């Protein structure tokens, strides 16, 4: 699979964050909430890295659409780097960034496209409220993190062992994180 990252780097301490998420999920209870928050934080960084590393690869019309949406969402005084996760999801959706990226690079982005960023934002927002307790299902957000990071080339997942496009069965964890 091609690497979408424009430079050879990884998210800071990504393996440590994934370990924290894994351990939090295993603890259950409040650990699920920690797993959701940490997963969402990694997704946020991964999306910003995806944009940073690939925006200039888009065709001119797609770049103009991206910048117009960024200006609209950021009210002319914020860039995607400073967007909240909800604003970032809106920018990616409204600018059709993934469509433009797929067209410009020829890379199949099905794995990223099939993930509902709006739902991820909702789960993350719920988890930030003091009295909210995330569920085990909410904590499966880590599956999304792994999918994003693998597609971005920031971590490696053995595709012979993991088919991200296959239907998931309840109670299974294709990444061995439970």
**Could you tell me the residue range of the domain that residue 71 belongs to?**
14-151
The model carries a pTM of 0.75
Q: Is 63 exposed, middle or buried (0-12, 13-18, 19+ CB in 10 A)?
A: middle
* Cα of 49 vs its chain's centroid, Å: 10
pLDDT digits (tens, 9 = 90+) for 61-114: 999 999 999 999 999 999 999 999 999 999 999 999 999 999 998 888 887 777
Q: Is residue 156 part of a domain?
A: no
Number of domains composing the chain: 1
Q: Would you say 6 and 152 are in contact if contact means Cβ atoms under 8 Å apart?
A: no
* Cα of 126 vs its chain's centroid, Å: 17
């Amino acid at each position: 699979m091609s690497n979408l990252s424009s430079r050879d780097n990884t998210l800071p301490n990504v393996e440590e964050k994934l370990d924290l998420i894994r351990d939090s999920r295993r603890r259950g209870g409040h650990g699920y909430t920690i797993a959701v928050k940490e997963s969402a934080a990694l997704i946020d960084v991964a999306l910003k890295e995806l944009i940073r590393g690939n925006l200039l690869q888009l065709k001119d019309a797609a770049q103009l659409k991206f910048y117009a949406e960024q200006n609209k969402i950021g009210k002319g005084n914020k860039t995607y780097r400073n967007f909240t996760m909800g604003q970032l999801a809106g920018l990616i959706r409204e600018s059709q960034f993934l469509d433009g990226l797929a067209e410009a690079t020829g890379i199949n982005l099905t794995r990223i496209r099939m993930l509902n960023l709006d739902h991820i934002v909702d789960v993350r927002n719920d988890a930030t409220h003091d009295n909210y307790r995330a569920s085990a299902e909410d904590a499966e957000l880590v599956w999304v993190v792994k999918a994003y990071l693998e597609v971005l080339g920031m971590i490696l997942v053995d595709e012979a062992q993991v088919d991200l496009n296959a239907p998931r069965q309840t109670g299974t964890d294709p990444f061995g994180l439970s």
